[in-house]
Structures are given as C-alpha cells and as structure tokens.
Amino acid sequence: MKLKRLLSGVTAAIMALSSVAIASFTSVSASELADNAPYQWTGKWLRGDGGITEDDPSGLIDAGTSKGGLKVENWGSGWQLRISGFSLEGIKNPTIEVEISDGGIFQVFNEVPRKEGEGTEPDVNFGVGKTGESVLIPENYRNETAFLLATQDGLGTITKISIYDDPNPPVQPIAFESITYNFTVTSGGNTTVTFTDGTDKASIDVKDSGDYTLKRELSKPQSLVSQLGFIEVPAGASVKLTVKTIVVNDKYTFEVNKELESGSYSNALPHMYDGSSPKTPVIYQCADAYISGSSKGISLMPGTPPQGGNTDSSSSQSPNKPTGTTYDGFLGFSSGQYAYDHREPSKKNVTYGGPIGENGGTYTLGLNLKDIDMWSGNAGDASGIVTMYVDILGYAEAIGASTVQKDAQGNDVQLTDGSEAAAMALARKAGLNITNLSILADGEVFYQYKDSEIMFGDVEGNGNMRIDIYNEWNESGDGGAEGYEAPDIFKSNRLLFKASNKVEVKFTLTYNDPNAKKPTAKPTTTPTTNKVDAAKKAAEAKVKNAKIKNLTVKSKAKKKISVSWKKVSKVNGYQVQVAKKKDFKGKNIILKKFTKKAKLTVKSSKIKSKKAYFVRVRAYATYKNAKNKATKVYGKFSAKKKVKVK
C-alpha cells in the first residue's frame, strides 16, 4: 500500500513530534523582545551527524556566551541541547525564541528520566518553529528547571536562544484526545476496518454496505498531529467508504464527505505526508473551532479562522466590490539566459491587450520585443523561456482571494502556507477560474495548456492575481500542487520557444461571486469612476520620473542597515527592499519597508551579522480607489547597493 510505505519511511523521523502533546503553536515575536530577553544564549550548535565529528565529538561547535545565568549544554549524545539556569517565576507568558539557519525547524520539550538508564530524555513537545519564531511554555510546565531543544531531522544550526515574557502570546490549540469517524461503506466490505494514525488504532467489522461509527482514542493528548487517520484492512480484503463527519473530543463535529479506498493512495484523511492536504490553512470548520494544517502538522484551533481563510465546509465572505471594474494586465517574460527580461510591474504600459474585466472574458496579452529590456544592445530572437506569467493587478484583493491581510495593528497576516497550491485553492473558493490558456510566438500557438495544467492565485501575497505560466523555481515548473498537473510536454519543449517580434498569452477568465444572489449588470461609467481614474493617473504621473538618487547604504551596528537617499518631490513615500541576492527574486527578498522620509534604519532578526545584503529603493504615490482605500503606485527602483552587516 503506497501510503503505508510512505508512512513507514518518514514516521520514525518525526514520531517524537506526532506522538506527544504539543501545548502551543508558534508565533513570530518582535525582535526587540528577544534582544532584551532576561535569559539568552548566543553561539553555534549543530545536531546529529553534522555536529559530531572527530575534531568535536560533543557536537557543540561553539559554547557561545550566556546572559542571565542561562546554561546550555550538549545532551543525549549530541542530539539535544539542554538549557537550564533560568527561573520562570513572575513571568506571565514565558516564551522561548530560537534562531536557526538553513530553514531548519526547532522543537522544545520538557525532560523526564530516561527509561533505559541514567540521564533524561524529551517527553512533551511544547511546540515547533522556524528561525525567529517562538514557543509558549504551558502553565503546568512553568515550574520546570530545564528544557530540551532539538532540530527536526537534524537540519539547521541553532545560533541563539532567548527566554522572555511575551505580552501577546500565540493562541494555544485544543489537544486532540479522540476522533470519532461516522462513515458509510459503499463497496467491498465484509471485513475489519481499522482507522489509525500509525500509532493509535481502532477497529470495527463491516458488511458490504451500511453506516458505522468508530471512535479512536489517542494514547495521550496531542495538540499537533501528523494526520487525522487512514484505513487498513486485512490482506486480500478491500473496502471503499465515505467518511461523512468526524467528531473530535466528543464535542466538535466537522463535515468531511471524504471517500477512502483501501489499498490505494486515497485511503487517508488530510495528513502532512502527502504534500498537499494540509496546505490549505483551514481543512475543516464548525461553529466554534476549526482544523488547520501546515507543513508542521495539523491542529485543532478554537474560534473561527481569519477572514479569507480557505475552508472545506463553509464559504468565505468576499468583500463588497464594484461590479464591472477593469484591472490592468501585466505580462512578465524572461527568455533563455535572460536575454529579454520584462518583470517590472511599473512598466505595465508595455503590455498590450488589456484591461481585464472583473466579470470575465477571453483576453490576449502581448509584448513587442522591441519594447522590453535586453541584456545586450540587440538580443536577436527571444529563444527559450525561464519565466512567464500574467499579473492582473489588484484583482485578488478585489474578489477576496488575497493570501495576505492586514490585522488591526497594520501587520501582514499570512492566510496560507505560502504555496501556489494554497493560493489557487483560495482563488477558486472566491469564484475564479482560468481556462483555455495558450502561449503564442509571433501570432502562432506554441503551446496549448490543458486546464489541469494551469496555475493561478495571489502567489506573491501582494493582492495581484497571477497566472503562473512557467517558472523554473516554483510549482509551475515542478508540479506537486493538489488539483494541478505540471505541463511536462511544455517543460521539455520550452527551450524550443522562439519569437522574432512578439510574445502573447491568451486565456479565458471566469468569475462567479459565490455570495451574489444574481448577476449584476455592468454599470456605465459614472463620475465616481472618472474621479478614481483621474486620481490614479495623477499618482502615476508623480512617480513616472521619480528617480532615486544618491542612495547610500551602511551598517553601523549589528542587525541594522541604514539607508538614505535624496528626497524626491511630490511623492507620498518610499519602499525599501532588502534581499539576500542581487536578483531580488521571490524569497530572496527578506524585507519590504515603507517610509515617508528619505532615510530609514532597517532592524530585523532576519538580518544576520557578517552577512552581505542588497538594497534598493523606489518612490510611491497614493490615490483613493473605488472602495475609498489608499492604493499605491510605484516608480522605478534605484540601482542596487551591496552592504555587509556588522
């Protein structure tokens, strides 16, 4: 059985995570809390095979320095760090924050005497997190005198540990204690069906049809589980069934309507192994709780999910938006070796074929090669494709499909796990679909996509709706998204693409507002629309020639970058971007900061000492859109400046 083989290969690596109670999720803390923590250790520790060498058998690469008497020592033959020398007395919300490199995930445990002899070992996992994230210590463990830290799968180097009082601790999930499955057998049967998570099991004898109820008790409460359960049957038997509902802790009932079939990959409820099920932030929802998923696992959270989150059992509310509105389309394109490179949204006027109507239609967006940037004076034909996409500017925000929202304090809140699969699920939930996608070279169709090969959504978290035609670095290049089939034929032939004059993309956009009672006729242009258009053009005029001059970038202190430039008249403010690489692509951009002054000091836990970063700046102007909300339009970026942080 495919899933069973998969489970056996990965369960051992994360069983400590999935078989113990985890009392809280992680939250990103303010960097100043960690910087001013009463207890802190700074050093370098690498777990497991990478840390234990002939030259350093302890695995503790750098003993580091401590603050407040915090003691850090190697533990469990180099597989954990033991931290002690602290007191949580008087700390209302004791929180542990860890900095860890290379995308590693840390785990925080209490310790108990080892079952097989002297020393201690991990027991209850309080939480997991990536660098800069924090874990809240549960109330019933705040009299402990030591905790154990480990890295998941031996990845990443721990460089900093801070213990402090968090005034805004993360919301704690509800621990799973039992899961009851209400299901109907549809075929096969006359056998024993077992629901299990690989550790805890419950079985029931079933016939070839009928309704059944089975309750699976967990051996100990778990606030983060690897999965909601899969089915097993004896050798030679088979069964197909539909799980109608699950009831968690005899209290929370969730509609599931999921078909499971033994002996196939489709024999499980959402789980963290299949790479797709937990990627929607909300898996199931009921009146007073919801089940959410991520690459770390699955949790039961109290209350209702953030507005705009994707759910399987209830529709999200889309905002009140003007009908008949049009949106600018932008065709991004980079040919082989970036000979032609057109990815700057401020140059949207180069794209022809728009605007895009909110309520749908068939469109052809194109670029004349003579109008876009070339790495050399004459790049000749556009040969091959590195990246190609369509951005419909502001459209995701308008229909309620944004993957990022602002909270009451104005901070960005990520509504998905950041994957394109989750962004596409959110867009579809909002009522959008993209079909009939094709690429044209000099007016001739080069590739016609199957609808199952089309990827779209607010993948950048900026409120734009992207149709991701091809990108070497993400899911439109390698596949792996639920409900999405990587365009293998196109991938193998994309280097044969060749255009001498123009490149075009043709597609059909369909939008059906899930909350609309009936279609709304497209209104004629009103004075309000004219006013918005005029304000937008005025803002664009302000930034059209807004060049950033005399850009200076320095680092005078740890984790700080000071940026200044010559003030630009008439603009409303500036955006400063910091990246790990000079190409400023995707996740290489680690910070985007806004300021109204012609200078800014950037401080963040994402900025590491002794590391080099790249900085660029652009001006922006604002206008009020049809919703009377301030909207930014941007000028060109400045030249990139490199700086090494102290």
Residue 324 and residue 359 in contact, taking contact as beta carbons nearer than 8 Å = yes
Mean of per-residue pLDDT scores for the chain: 78
Residue 11 and residue 198 in contact, taking contact as beta carbons nearer than 8 Å = yes
The reported pLDDT for the residue numbered 206 is 94
**What is the per-residue pLDDT across 410-444, written as a single tens digit (0 to 9) for each?**
566 677 777 777 888 889 988 899 999 999 988 89
Residue 527 makes CB contacts below 8 A (sequence gap 6+) with none
Cis before 355? omega within 30: yes
Q: Name the nearest CA neighbour of 536 among 635, 413, 631.
A: 631
Q: What six digits make up the tokens of 459?
A: 């993948």
Percent of the chain with pLDDT over 90: 22
15 compared with 400, residue with greater pLDDT:
400
For residues 76-98, average pLDDT: 86
pLDDT > 60? residue 310: no
The reported pLDDT for the residue numbered 50 is 42
The reported pLDDT for the residue numbered 242 is 94
For residues 600-625, average pLDDT: 88
**Band (614; pLDDT cuts 50, 70, 90):** very high
Reduced DSSP (H G I as helix, E B as strand, rest coil) percent helix, strand, coil of the chain, to 5: 15, 45, 40
The reported pLDDT for the residue numbered 28 is 45
Phi, psi angle pair for 65, to nearest 5°: -125, 150
Q: How far apart are CA 337 and CA 72, in angstroms?
A: 49
The reported pLDDT for the residue numbered 381 is 80
Q: How far apart are CA 333 and CA 503, in angstroms?
A: 9
The reported pLDDT for the residue numbered 473 is 59
For residues 574-582, average pLDDT: 91
pLDDT > 80? residue 583: yes
pLDDT > 90? residue 519: no
The reported pLDDT for the residue numbered 253 is 94
Instruction: Measure the N-to-C terminal CA separation of the chain; round to a whole number of Å.
Output: 54
**What is the per-residue pLDDT across 259-286, written as a single tens digit (0 to 9) for each?**
998 877 678 887 755 444 444 568 888 8
Residue 437 three-state SS: strand
Residue 183 and residue 241 in contact, taking contact as beta carbons nearer than 8 Å = yes
Q: Which of 113-117, 387-391, 483-487 has the largest mean confidence?
A: 387-391
pLDDT > 50? residue 559: yes
For residues 477-503, average pLDDT: 63
For residues 124-141, average pLDDT: 80
In this structure, of 40-49, 115-124, 480-489, 502-511, the range with the lowest mean pLDDT score is 480-489
Query: Domains of the chain by range and CATH?
Result: 23-165 (no CATH), 176-302 (no CATH), 326-511 (no CATH), 535-644 (2.60.40.10)
The reported pLDDT for the residue numbered 550 is 92
pLDDT > 60? residue 322: no
341 compared with 457, residue with greater pLDDT:
457
**Band (632; pLDDT cuts 50, 70, 90):** confident
**Band (557; pLDDT cuts 50, 70, 90):** confident
**What is the per-residue pLDDT across 180-218, written as a single tens digit (0 to 9) for each?**
999 999 998 899 999 998 889 999 999 999 999 999 999
